[in-house]
Structure 1
Amino acid sequence: MQNGRSGLLDGARNITGPGSAALKYDILTALLVTATQGEATEARLALRLSLLITARFNWRSGTFSVGRREMARMWGVTERTAKREIAEMRARGWIAVHVPAARGRVAQYRIELPRVLAITMPHWQAVGPDFAARMVAAPDPAPEASNVVPLRREAALPEEDGSGWARAATQLQAQDPAVWGAWFAPLVPVGVESGILTLLAPSRFLAEYVTTHYHSRLLAAVSGQGVREVRVTCE
């Protein structure tokens, strides 16, 4: 099943129009799985932000306006605690003031979706490989012919092209099929030049995440093939 949209982080600013309903569910799913899987403070903030989004978020404008008293009532805390929680979300870069409070008007906040989703990303696999892959724009192959149609078939390994990526891909898939399907399968080899293997990612987020978290694993997989460095880019 082809979902027809780019990685959620790249498309986080476009949350109206075709496909926006599914996008909203994905954002809330990412927050709620963080509420169940994250460390205590992160989990609490994720749950409270989820409630604000569900109850008061304007998806068209990308903002929400909720008074401190109303927040406190929804969260079951004091107004002082509500103020402190909003301040913590701002300090973490999850939300920002869009329109400051004025006499007779509460502040209007915008949610920094790329930042929020980057924070939730370590927990995506808990929802399932299909969810993690969709969030980073992994391709959706055609379903296999069987009595039960899976949500996602295991991503196919690339063919040998002289870059050494096909051999490395086989090793990476054998090491961890879930990580392979979510993070490595979308990468496309560009070529090897001066001992540097360049891989093209479908989104800037995926390129940065793989470089930050899986660079050593990638380098180990291509070692011994005349490659001394791996570069992941989206350009």
Structure 2
Amino acid sequence: MTGYIRPTAQLRRITGPGASSVKYDILTALLVTAARGDPVDSRLALRLSLVITARFNWRTGTFAVGQKEIARMWGVTERTAKREMAELRRRGWITVSVPAARGRVTQHAIQLPAVLRATMPHWSAVGPDFFARMSDAPEPEREGEGAANVVPLHRDPLPLPAEDGTGWSLAAERLRAQDPATYNAWFAPLQPVDLESGILTLMAPNRFQADYVRTHYHTRLLAAVVTENHSIREVQITVAAP
């Protein structure tokens, strides 16, 4: 499933109390991609950030802006604006929700899960707190906070997997540092099987383990993997043969 991530806590709270900070997080993810991404990603992320800031309806998840107005905002020709909008649609960042009709411009929906998936490799550049917030991981403790009162309840973290060229070893190290107990219980048993066409396949020891990680930790897992290997676009979890 190219460009797919499960809805994070951010996407579940884009309206109502606290929505303003969530919107800033989404824009931050786009802008850090504009600053650090490859030339095409950077350009598209910056242009979509401007559309979101100027014309996006957060309640409906849509914007309706004519091609001429988009070209003026972006400082490009209408032909270039048309080409850029087509590329945003091709990547799945936006989709047509209401086609153009006489007297009415096309209404587009922004597919925030796909957009955030594209920005994942750059989350850690903003800071560990931002990365944790966006990936539904525990936020790191600030120095001196809580350390004196911590009572260890879990065994020491399990060893990291050997480096195999997929980036899984580095991702596992990141996951272990975030939350040793969760790493021990859910991530350490996963074994890399294959990396092909940008899809990393991990094998779980049983179906329950696989289903639980998919349901509860997919975004955290994918964010860690993508951060360490930018060529990966998805993680699949299989089950060991009986």
Judge which range, 177-186 or 16-25, deviates more.
177-186
Match of 1:3 in 2: none
TM-score scaled by structure 2? 0.67
Corresponding residue for 2:86?
87
The answer for the alignment partner of 1:44 in structure 2 is 43
User: Which AA in structure 2 matches 1:74?
Assistant: M
Q: 1:64-213 counterparts in 2 under 5 A?
A: 64-140=63-139, 143-145=142-144, 159-160=154-155, 166-168=157-159, 180-181=176-177, 187=183, 189=185, 196=205, 198=209, 201=213, 202-209=216-223
| Separation in structure 1 between the aligned mates of residue 68 and residue 105 of structure 2, nearest angstrom | 10
**Residues 171-204 of structure 1: CA deviation (Å, up to 9, x unaligned):** 9xxx797664458775461597xx9384855433
Is the 2:99–2:107 Cα contact (8 Å) retained in structure 1?
Answer: yes
- 1:92 maps to a residue whose letter is R
Is it true that 1:29 corresponds to 2:34 in the alignment? no
**Structure 2 stretches lacking a partner, 5+ long:** 1-5, 163-169, 190-203, 230-236
TM-score, length-normalised on structure 1? 0.68
Residues 8 and 135 in structure 1, CA contact (< 8 A), matched pair in contact too: no
Aligned-pair identity (%): 50
Q: Distance in 1 between matches of 2:38 and 2:101?
A: 35
Match of 2:199 in 1: none
Q: CA 1:184–1:28 in structure 2 vs 1: closer, same or farther (change >3 Å)? A: farther
Query: What residue in structure 1 maps to residue 192 of structure 2?
Result: none
Pairwise CA distance, 1:157? 8.3
CA distance in 1, matches of 2:83, 2:152: 49
Measure the CA separation in 2 of the matches of 1:18 and 1:120.
25
How many aligned residue pairs are there? 197
Encode CA deviations 1:64-105: one digit per residue, 9 max, x unaligned: 111101100110000110010000000011000011111111
- Partners of 2:29 and 2:140 lie apart in 1 by 23
Q: Contact 2:140/2:178 (CA < 8 Å) preserved in 1?
A: no
State whether residues 183 and 206 of structure 1, in contact with CA within 8 Å, keep that contact through their aligned partners in structure 2: no
Cα distance, 1:73–1:60 mapped onto 2, change above 3 Å: same
Shift of the alpha carbon at 1:42?
Answer: 0.8
CA 90–131 in structure 1, closer or farther in 2 if over 3 Å, else same: same
RMSD of the alignment, in Å?
A: 3.9
How far apart are the structure 2 equivalents of 1:44 and 1:212? 21
Mean Cα deviation higher: 181-190 or 106-115: 181-190
Q: Indicate the residue corresponding to 1:225 in structure 2.
A: none
Equivalent residue letter for 2:52: I
Give the aligned residue type for 2:86: A
What SS is found at the alignment partner of 2:158? helix
